[in-house]
Amino acid sequence: MRLKKVTSLPPQAERVWQVAIHPTLPLIATASSDKTARIISLQTYNSLSTIEGGHKRSIRSVAWKPGLTGESVLCTGSFDATIGIWRRYEHDLDAGDNQGGDEEEEEWRFALVLDGHESEVKGVAWSAGGNFLATCSRDKTVWIWEEIDEDNFETLEVMQEHTQDVKCVTWHPEEVLLASSSYDNTIRLYREGSEDWVCCSLLEGHAATVWTIEFEKPASPGYRGEWGSRLASCSDDLSIKVWTRISRSGSAAEAKKAPPSILRGESIEENWVETSTLPQVHTRAIYNVSWSSRSGRIVSCAGDGRIVVYEEISSVDTEMVERDEKKPLMTEWKVVAEIEGSHGVFEVNCVQWSKRWDKDAKGENDEVIVSCGDDGVVSVWELADT
């Protein structure tokens, strides 16, 4: 297989840090150093809107709120230490045609700003149900916010478990379980306890900054575990690891049926073990990984300009892992496609799998990879037969 470029959009004025795929509509949101977020159609690859005016410095991260109908809500995190909430009622947002003009631009409303972080906001993420918002920052903290009603957010917790810059936050696809990764080389997971949120697991294994983490979504082909019982991470140490959850009682299945108790005095600790290290291809820091909910493949990007796609060739048997937690079953992955210089001489900051929406889509399971880099370009790629 090989990675074939579908299209590249005209470059933005400055680097694009991140792309976020809308959970239900054919839309991409970008986060850029030019203080804007742009909305792009996945049907025509035209730019639909430019969101600006809410931040004084680079927008570092963006996230779509899930579970909405009739409107879209976008969260932006900025180097100005604030978080923006933007709203737009759908109308023709998912039509895929760029109508242009000021009228369309005005349909996005800057609803409110959330502040409290003392330094650059590096990551923002909505929980699966959209009830909670997590943010992380160079100030070493992870914040959890709850939306009480429209445009009214309450701070639930400020967690200070990490000792360095926190690079990423991500939520479990089904459970109220949050993960964060940091410059301190660790990954931490959090659950709500009897009175507050607590760290329920510490994952150590990387030798340098952990840039991005992402839970597995629907069970991949051949995998016998439960949704979200695995987590992928990528690091400055040039490695990509997969971690598998082992329950407190030793049974992942039991953990699924009986969520941890939050009664005072009872432990809600979880045990996660490393079960895979993907083949090393990248020669510079790996910035981002994305786990496909359709094919089960993982894609990565890095400072070396490469985009690499991996496929699992042996799957983990959760029951076998549970029999010996000290020597868990290691699963194997292979590289199925890679491309060098995907953004010319520039670093690639983010890659995301997306359902394919354009005229060449072959079916519901057809997918593309969306990438962005320091060149300010957003590119779309497909996996083609060699």
- What is the value of pTM for the model shown? 0.87
Q: In 10 A of CB 383, how many CB atoms?
A: 18
Radius of gyration over every alpha carbon of the chain, rounded to an integer in angstroms: 20
Q: How far is CA 364 from CA 96, 97, 295, 356, 382, in A?
A: 18, 21, 12, 8, 15
Q: Provide the domain limits for residue 10.
A: 2-384
What is the pLDDT, as a whole number, of residue 247? 65
Tell me which residue has tokens 């320091």: 374
CATH, residue 281: 2.130.10.10
DSSP string, 341-368: STTTTSPEEEEEEEE--STT--STT-EE
Specify which residues 203 forms β-bridges with.
187
What is the pLDDT, as a whole number, of residue 262? 40
- Pair 70, 54: CB distance under 8 Å: no
Count structural domains, the chain.
1
Name the residue among 374, 377, 381, 237 with its Cα closest to residue 307: 381
CA 304 to chain centroid: 20
What is the pLDDT, as a whole number, of residue 371? 98
How high is the mean pLDDT in each 10-residue block of the chain (386 residues)? 94 94 95 96 94 93 91 95 90 48 60 94 95 96 92 93 97 94 97 88 96 83 60 97 73 41 56 93 97 94 98 66 54 94 97 96 92 97 89
Q: Report the alpha-carbon distance of residue 93 to residue 78 in Å, rounded.
A: 24
What is the pLDDT, as a whole number, of residue 47? 93
Q: In 10 A of CB 129, how many CB atoms?
A: 11
Q: Token pair of 214, please?
A: 């992402």
What is the pLDDT, as a whole number, of residue 305? 97
Which helix or strand (DSSP H or E) is residue 142 part of? strand 142-149
- Pair 371, 351: CB distance under 8 Å: yes
Q: Report the alpha-carbon distance of residue 278 to residue 159 in Å, rounded.
A: 31
φ, ψ at 253 (rounded to 5°): -65, -40
What is the pLDDT, as a whole number, of residue 249? 34
What is the pLDDT, as a whole number, of residue 79? 97
What is the pLDDT, as a whole number, of residue 374? 97
